[in-house]
Structure 1
Amino acid sequence: MNVLQSDSPLIVYVDVKSPYAFVAIRPTLALEVELGMKFDWRPLTLDIPSYLGSAEKKEGKVVASSGRSPKVWNAIRYSYGDARRYAKRQGLILKGTEKIWDSSIANIGILWVVEQDRDKLGGYFDAVFPPFWRRELDIEDVDVVKSCLAAAGVDADGFDDFQSGEGRALHDDLQPQFHPHGIYGVPTYVIGDEVLFGREHIPYLRWHLSGQKGPAPDIAYEIEPC
């Protein structure tokens, strides 16, 4: 699978453990419905310790930390605060994670749903993202991910083998391709030869996918009704 190529008009890269991906899911799904299109949703499992260091919390207090300067901590706090504002406008709860999760199994679940029953992808996202960000979901447990598949109405039979075999291979094949192709975070949208990071590009995506009528819109977050 080539990270920049798809039969779909738009590729969307997300990671369950990203707060910015979390607040982009619903607006991007809504755009998909609005335009009557099916986007190509794919996982990008972030290697957060490689660029932001690592940390673990218990009851809100840091109990272990490595490679995080005060500047990095401030940037992380700002990122969560920024994402939390947009989560609140969608009626969602976004609590900071207490460790850096391995989200690969839940992300491989995206590939499984696309393969098994693409129309239930939104249901899978609803079963995974909101409870994870309420700190209610162990996304490193394959049985928990299977329960999320079942909650979305997706047959989970065979997922054990998929997440350790074919699905894992597809997932792992994508990962080393990202940085060389200018993809560093989520959500990332690939449209034609453009790589766009962040949900602030949704107005532009709508304009582009709708035929580019009139001037291109400004790059800005769309504000959902309260």
Structure 2
Amino acid sequence: MSDNSTTNIKEISPLKSEAPIIIYIDLKSPYAYLSIAPARQMLTQLGLIADWRPFVLDIPSYLGSAKLDRGGKKVTKQNRTEEQWSGVKYAYFDCRRYANLSNKTIRGTVKIWNTDLPAIGMLWLKSFADLEEQSSQGSMLERYIDAIFEPFWKRELDVEDLSVILRVLEQIDAPTDGFLPYAQGEGATLNTWLQESAFNKGIFGVPTFILPNEPAMDPQHEKFFGREHLPRISWLLDGRKGPAPDVAYHLNSEVDDEALAKCAAEPRMAPELLVTPPQLTTFFDFKSPQSYLALQGILALKGEGISVNWRPFV
């Protein structure tokens, strides 16, 4: 373990690292939570290390905010539009659908949490080890990420309480001497600078994957947002062998039929799944590049006996 030392802010660049990949995550993002395991699996398969970094989302700036009562069921305060509520509800539905495949629990948060303290905890641990040690299996950073994400998404962790972050560090046997003043001083300053500089470099969400070595070869492959890009990222990191893969969510090979059925059925069963032959209702917009890119894959479903019910959405 390296000795803890003051981190020079000027030595950190949002898009640069000695590791071949930078991974930005935020505790309050279920998408970040779901990306951790497949990202680790990819790194293990390729024999590579990563530079894991915190990024604190400003969710109210684009999705509004809401707060539930103490029971966690009734909204007591909110300033969201109907469109924002639709986006939030779908996000949780989507994440739970995939969480079911790996037996993860994702409960809607009771409010928009400030995750600066968990981010500072990450920076504290990173100051004790080099990137190779941070990326090793069972490292302090890995244990910290696991110890904080899982209970948070079960609504068991108040991450705005500094003493809670301290207890998590103690739980994983991490150094804690000096953490409290660090979190209120140097660590807070470093975190603020990192968030601002990352945002100014075009990082806006999590998980975001940065490939520091790509700009010299192909600038369009420097930055990826979302775990669906892991197949392409893996292809790039492995030397671009074979054809470039499309976006995809790789499923665990151990997922059984029962888990797949649960994934499809919760929180509600889509009536199209009960139709014979199977039918997929697809909303599209001609001005959407995502609709255009999805066209080939959707048309291929006909070869599997699935009919497509096309519906325009403007």
Taking structure 2 as the reference length, what is the TM-score of the superposition? 0.69
Q: How does 1:201-212 map to 2 (within 5 A)?
A: 201-212=229-240
Of 21, 24, 49 in structure 2, the residue corresponding to residue 10 of structure 1 is 21
Instruction: Look up the equivalent residue of 2:95 and give its one-letter code.
Output: A
> 2: distance between equivalents of 1:88 and 1:69?
29
Secondary structure of the residue aligned to 1:45 is coil
Taking every aligned residue pair, what percent have the same amino acid on both sides?
Answer: 44
Of 163, 184, 205 in structure 1, the residue corresponding to residue 183 of structure 2 is 163
**Residue of structure 2 equivalent to 1:217:** 245
> 2: distance between equivalents of 1:200 and 1:153?
34
- 1:203–1:219 Cα contact (<8 Å) kept: yes
Count of aligned pairs: 225
2:140 paired with 1:120: yes
Of 63, 67, 82 in structure 2, the residue corresponding to residue 70 of structure 1 is 82
Gaps in structure 1 of 5+ consecutive residues: none
RMSD value, Cα? 1.3
Instruction: Look up the equivalent residue of 1:74 and give its one-letter code.
Output: S
> 1: distance between equivalents of 2:146 and 2:30?
14
Deviates more, 1:199-208 or 1:116-125: 116-125
Structure 1 residue ranges, 4+ long, deviating more than 6 angstroms after superposition: none
- 1:12–1:187 Cα contact (<8 Å) kept: yes
Secondary structure of the residue aligned to 1:30 is helix
Secondary structure of the residue aligned to 2:68 is strand
Q: How does 1:1-226 map to 2 (within 5 A)?
A: 1-58=12-69, 59=71, 60-66=73-79, 68-117=80-129, 118=134, 119-191=139-211, 192-193=214-215, 194-224=222-252, 225-226=254-255
- 1:29–1:122 Cα contact (<8 Å) kept: no
Q: Deviations over 1:100-142 (max 9, x none)?
A: 1111101111111222242222111110001000000011111
Gaps in structure 2 of 5+ consecutive residues: 1-11, 216-221, 256-314
> 2: distance between equivalents of 1:124 and 1:216?
34
> 2: distance between equivalents of 1:114 and 1:141?
21
Deviates more, 1:109-118 or 1:215-224: 109-118
> 1: distance between equivalents of 2:171 and 2:47?
25
Instruction: Look up the equivalent residue of 1:6 and give its one-letter code.
Output: S
Question: Cα distance, 1:220 vs. partner?
Answer: 1.0
Instruction: Look up the equivalent residue of 2:180 and give its one-letter code.
Output: D
> 2: distance between equivalents of 1:23 and 1:75?
18
- 1:116–1:154 Cα contact (<8 Å) kept: no
Q: Deviations over 1:6-44 (max 9, x none)?
A: 111001000001111011111112222222222011111
Q: Deviations over 1:78-105 (max 9, x none)?
A: 0111111121211110000001111110
Distance 1:31 1:149, change over 3 A: farther
Higher relative contact order (CA 8 A, sep 6+): 1
- 1:15–1:103 Cα contact (<8 Å) kept: yes
Deviates more, 1:80-89 or 1:147-156: 147-156
Distance 1:157 1:16, change over 3 A: same
Instruction: Look up the equivalent residue of 2:200 and give its one-letter code.
Output: P
